[in-house]
Amino acid sequence: MIEQLNQFEGESLAKLNALNDSESLKAWKGEVFGKTSLLSTALGELGKLPKEERPLVGKRVNEIKQKLTAAFEEKDYAAKAADLEKELRSEPYDVTLPGRPVTRGRLHLISQTVREICDVWAEMGFQVYRSREVETDEYNFELLNIPKHHPARDMQDTFYTTVPDVILRTHTSPGQIHAMREYYPDPIRVVLPGMVYRYEQITARSDIQFDQIEGLAVGKGIRMSDLKGTLTDFARRIFGKGVRTRFRSDHFPFTEPSAEMDIECFVCGGKGCAVCKRSGWLEILGCGMVHPIVLKNGGYDPKVFSGFAFGMGPGRIAMLKYKIEDIRYFWGNDLRFLSQF
Ligand code: DAH
């Protein structure tokens, strides 16, 4: 049997060496490794051999298989390379044909706006501070002077989780507490961009998730005039040097006093149009002097320290700037909308 196998090996290799094209290599493979080949029948007949011969034959079959496989692969590789070469030569490429257009991706309009706003704040000495999107009731409400049953909670309908007191933040303001507790007792100048979540009806004007940018300055001797000056400077850097601003008093639980800042409508120049609802002014952000209770919750003694805070929606600013009428475009993933910016 060993004799036969050796002979089979020699003959098969000799045949293989004479072959050069993929077709005949394939035929060779079928013959040598197929069901009727000696390599297969020898194994099938192992039982008929004397006991001491069986392991020797088994081993020899495997050796031959390995050797023939290796030899085949080498030949096959060369044959395939030759085939490819032939194909390329017979169908030459036309280098004068126009190429396929490469489409370029870009940042989402909101990302562009967030970056633009953060860049402006960076120029003014504010550092970007990242804060978590999953919050506790304590950080999102309590520490910001919004106790349970406070009516302000109704304005920010909340996504609760299955874990008690763990919620999705409804605004970026809880980041104020994180920043204060981290920076104490140093002065703070930070902006906090990020996603917020509200359990609301989705309409053209409101969505369940959107971006906000919070700002916080804490130090000694910070006054309302600093807030007004800083925010007016910000508005000029974003909307242009000549833009007029005004502050209207408002109420937020975490600031006292609180205000809203408007800019003069850049569509009609203050004359009154559909975008500014005939008022001549566009509401841009909420702001105020950090409430003493909030300062205290952040670790800063309100008798020594003071500060101002503000919060704005980059989505709203982008909508005003580009006259986008429906907030749902932002998440609609429609390239006809997105590729305009
Ligand atoms: N957190 C407020 C909101 O989501 C926005 C805001 C208003 C933030 C006034 C502030 C602020 O820091 O001073 O509606």
The residues, ordered by sequence, that sit 6+ positions from 304 with a Cβ below 8 Å of its Cβ are: 220
- Residue type for position 31: E
Q: Does the pLDDT value for residue 149 go beyond 90?
A: no
pLDDT tens-digit map of 67-96? 999 999 999 999 999 888 888 888 777 888
Q: Is residue 307 lining ligand 1, measured as CB closer than 6 Å?
A: no
Q: What's the CA-to-centroid distance between 44 and ligand 1, angstroms?
A: 83
- % the chain with pLDDT above 70: 99
Q: Does the pLDDT value for residue 230 go beyond 90?
A: yes
Atom 12 of ligand 1, nearest CA residue: 310
The residues, ordered by sequence, that sit 6+ positions from 117 with a Cβ below 8 Å of its Cβ are: 191, 193, 213, 238, 312, 314, 317
Q: How far apart are CA 244 and CA 262, in angstroms?
A: 8
**Residue 6 main-chain phi, psi, to 5 deg:** -60, -40
Which ligand 1 atom sits closest to the C-alpha of 255?
13
> What is the DSSP code string of 59-83?
HHHHHHHHHHHHHHHHHHHHHHHHH
Contact 123, 238 (CB under 8 A): no
Per-chain mean pLDDT for the chain: 92
Q: What's the CA-to-centroid distance between 277 and ligand 1, angstroms?
A: 23
Which ligand 1 atom sits closest to the C-alpha of 250?
9
The residues, ordered by sequence, that sit 6+ positions from 294 with a Cβ below 8 Å of its Cβ are: 143, 144, 145, 176, 177, 254, 255
Q: Are strands 209-219 and 245-252 parallel, antiparallel or unpaired?
A: unpaired
Q: Is residue 309 lining ligand 1, measured as CB closer than 6 Å?
A: yes
pLDDT tens-digit map of 174-227? 999 999 999 999 999 999 999 999 998 999 888 999 999 999 999 999 999 999
Give me the mean pLDDT over the 168-174 stretch.
Answer: 97
Q: What's the CA-to-centroid distance between 251 and ligand 1, angstroms?
A: 10
Structure tokens at 75: 């030949």
Q: How far apart are CA 255 and CA 42, in angstroms?
A: 91
pLDDT tens-digit map of 29-75? 999 998 888 888 888 888 888 888 888 888 999 999 999 999 999 99
Q: Is residue 310 lining ligand 1, measured as CB closer than 6 Å?
A: yes
